[in-house]
Amino acid sequence: MTDKETDKELKVDEAPSPGDVEVPGVTEPLDFGTDEMAESLEYKPSFKERFIESFLNVNKELWVILSLFVLIGLMNYLVASQRILLGLYTLPTLFSAYYFGRKHATLTALLSVIMVGLLVYYNPSWLSLDEYMPSDKWRELLAWGSILMVTAYAMGTLYERDKKKMEELRQTYQGILVILRHFISNDKYTENHCYRVSIYAAKIAAYLGLSNDYIEDIRSAALLHDIGKLEISRNILYKAAKLTEEEYESVKKHVNKGAQILQPLGGPLGRILPIILAHHERHDGSGYEKVEGDKIPLGARILAVADVYDSMTSDRPYRKAIPPLEARNLIEKMAGKEFDPKVVRAFLHAFSKGEMEVPNLVL
């Protein structure tokens, strides 16, 4: 989003917009006073929010593995032939190998062996069906445990190799996006803007507890969200005066033009198209296409906040940047209007942790 678009929105709709540096209804510059007052404005999550965040931070796959152990434990008392349960103890190991890798899979297998060993030790009648088990059941259990450990190690190793290859592909993909970003940028400002927005958006998404894959999609969308401006004259993009009606309509078309450029590529780039197409939509339906609320893709709602934050805190040829704290408070005031309140809360949380900053080295 550019301030040129914002200037035009002010002229046409006579209503303040996110790119503007004034709070609606406030004509004087905001005075945030002393450092103590600034600290009082920092977002402090409630106990309920902290509890929910801690609960959600526990890996969901770990809950699945623990649930499997509980289920198998219950089945110990429900299944007539307990020997069948030995095969079921393989399930937590396979899940652990698939989601966590070799180390966790081996530890899960070891835990399964220990649990079965304790059951047999303290409850000798368990697995005492001679018609199914040899008399030396401890030797049988040792063989079963060894096979389970080897299986865990092998499955975990395969998972880690696959994960390494996927990470290499991801890095290659991100590298291609960076190269593409250099080619599509009309100037250094647009290039750096997209890079900063990608960092901000990824941090906000992380505080929302989204999956790593979706965070990467959001980061990719942020890197390319202004690709449609390739076909817009630089004279329009960086015009010091307010845009005419015709110029403003030309700028608005950059979203669809960007989608048209990326659409033939498919694959991961195809997944980010909905985010790019909707990043100028607003929570109250005042955006380009008048889409509102949850109908806007979550990634686009995140990108909108990151885009506006960087726009306000960056110097432009026609205006100076405003301080990050002032931009933070402006965005907070727009929650429920311009922006999704849930996304704004995540932004405020990241800001309070000092994570809405980009090192000067990458600027």
Of 96-110, 174-188, 340-354, minimum mean pLDDT range: 174-188
The yes-or-no verdict on residue 325 having pLDDT over 90 is: yes
Tally of residues, the chain? 363
Largest CA distance in the chain: 92
Cα 74 from Cα 54, distance rounded (Å): 28
In this prediction, residue 322 carries a pLDDT of 93
- What mean pLDDT comes out for the span 60-72? 60
Judged against a pLDDT cut of 60, whether residue 24 lies above it is answered with: no
**Alpha carbon distance 363, 356 (integer Å):** 14
pLDDT at 293 over 70: yes
> Residue ranges per domain, the chain?
3-14+33-42+185-362, 60-164
Q: What is the 3-state secondary structure (H, E, C) of the chain?
A: CCHHHHHHHHHHHCCCCCCCCCCCCCCCCCCCCCHHHHHHCCCCCCHHHHHHHHHHHCCHHHHHHHHHHHHHHHHCCCCCCCHHHHHHCHHHHHHHHHHHCHHHHHHHHHHHHHHHHHHHHHCCCCCCCCCCCCCCHHHHHHHHHHHHHHHHHHHHHHHHHHHHHHHHHHHHHHHHHHHHHHHHCCCHHHHHHHHHHHHHHHHHHHHCCCCHHHHHHHHHHHHHCCHHHHHCCHHHHCCCCCCCHHHHHHHHCHHHHHHHHHHHHCHHHHHCHHHHHCCCCCCCCCCCCCCCHHHCCHHHHHHHHHHHHHHHCCCECCECCCCHHHHHHHHHHCECCCECHHHHHHHHHHHHCCCCCCCHHHC
**Residues 155-207: pLDDT tens digits?**
888 888 888 877 776 776 666 666 565 555 555 566 688 889 999 999 999 99
Give 240's contacts (C-beta < 8 A, 6+ positions apart): 317, 318
Structure tokens at 50: 């902290």
Q: Does residue 342 contact residue 53 with C-beta atoms inside 8 Å?
A: no
| Lowest model confidence (mean pLDDT) among 25-29, 92-96, 347-351 | 25-29
At 313 the pLDDT is: 92
pTM: 0.53
| Level-2 CATH architecture, domain 3-14+33-42+185-362 | Orthogonal Bundle (1.10)
Q: What digits encode the pLDDT tens for the residues 224-279?
A: 877 655 555 454 445 444 555 555 555 555 555 555 555 555 556 667 888 888 87
| Mean pLDDT for the chain overall | 70
Which residues, at least 6 apart from 98, have a Cβ–Cβ distance to it below 8 Å?
155, 159
User: At residue 119, does pLDDT exceed 80?
Assistant: no
The pLDDT score that the predictor gives to residue 224 is 80
Alpha-carbon span 20 to 287, nearest angstrom: 15
User: For 210-239, what is each residue's pLDDT tens digit?
Assistant: 988 899 889 988 888 776 555 554 544 454
pLDDT at 301: 95
| pLDDT tens string 124-166 | 666 654 444 445 667 777 887 888 888 888 888 888 888 887 7
Say which residues have a Cβ less than 8 Å from residue 342's Cβ, sequence separation at least 6. Answer: 208
Query: What confidence score (pLDDT) does residue 21 get?
Result: 36
Q: How would residue 85 be classed by pLDDT, with cut points 50, 70 and 90?
A: low
